Amino acid sequence: MAQKERLSAYDQSMYDLMNRSEGASLRSTAPRRRAVVGAHVVLTVGFVAAWLGTVVGDLSWTTWTMLGLLLPWCVATGILNGATRGLLELRPRVLDERQRAERDRARATAHRIMSWVLLAAVVVTGVVGFAGLTAKALVFQVAVCALVLHWLLPLWVAALSVRDEPGLDEPDVDEFA
């Protein structure tokens, strides 16, 4: 942390929260982080689909599905925030130069991915519209999905690009022995 003595109480508490050691075994290796990101993606897709079922489909049972997915989604989000050490949640003054550069890289990568996703969304909704099909509900659903993806993609990219911490799950073996 760059300027620990000048941090507000809020910044200090968020820094402490994002750097806790609980759940470290769930995020200590790349395969585990990939699994958590995959679970988070699946939970997000389920939650958004249930929400769209409530709004567009007028299905009341999907409300219970959303409530059931909320707690595991929050836990997975916490694990990902812990894996990135709060890279996307902490204010810039709390981060050092390396962390700010990592955050910028994650956001830039997410931005490039999001540009391709938006291009695909425009093409799909355009094809549907030019085919003469009613695209109003489709455009709303695509826009909601794009908004959620835009919000969460930097977290997923950052969690997938985090490097393993030195010394974790590595035996102390001399490589020339």
- Would you state the pLDDT for residue 173? 46
> Can you give the pLDDT at residue 22?
80
**For position 56, what pLDDT does the model report?**
78
Q: What is the pLDDT of residue 175?
A: 44
pLDDT computed for residue 174 by the predictor: 46
Looking at residue 49, what is its pLDDT? 93
Query: Closest by alpha carbon to 168, among 36, 35, 24?
Result: 24
Cα angle 141-147-150, degrees, rounded to a multiple of 5: 140
How many CB atoms are located within 10 Å of the residue 71 CB? 10
Region of 169 on the Ramachandran plot (φ > 0 left; ψ -120 to 50 alpha; else beta)? left
Give CA separation, 26 vs 23, 32, 161, 175, in Å. 5, 6, 16, 27
Residues with Cβ within 8 Å of 94's Cβ and at least 6 positions away in sequence, in order, are 1, 2, 7, 11, 14, 15, 86
What size, in residues, is the chain? 177
Q: Identify residue 43 by its one-letter amino acid code.
A: L
Per-residue model confidence as pLDDT tens for the chain (177 residues):
545 567 888 888 888 888 888 877 788 888 999 999 999 999 999 999 999 888 877 788 888 999 999 999 999 999 999 899 888 888 888 888 999 999 999 999 999 999 999 999 888 888 887 887 776 767 888 889 999 999 999 999 999 998 877 665 554 444 444
Of 64, 73, 67, residue with least CA distance to 45? 73
Q: What is the pLDDT of residue 166?
A: 67
CA 35 to CA 132: how far, in whole Å? 41
Question: In the prediction, which pLDDT does 10 show?
Answer: 86
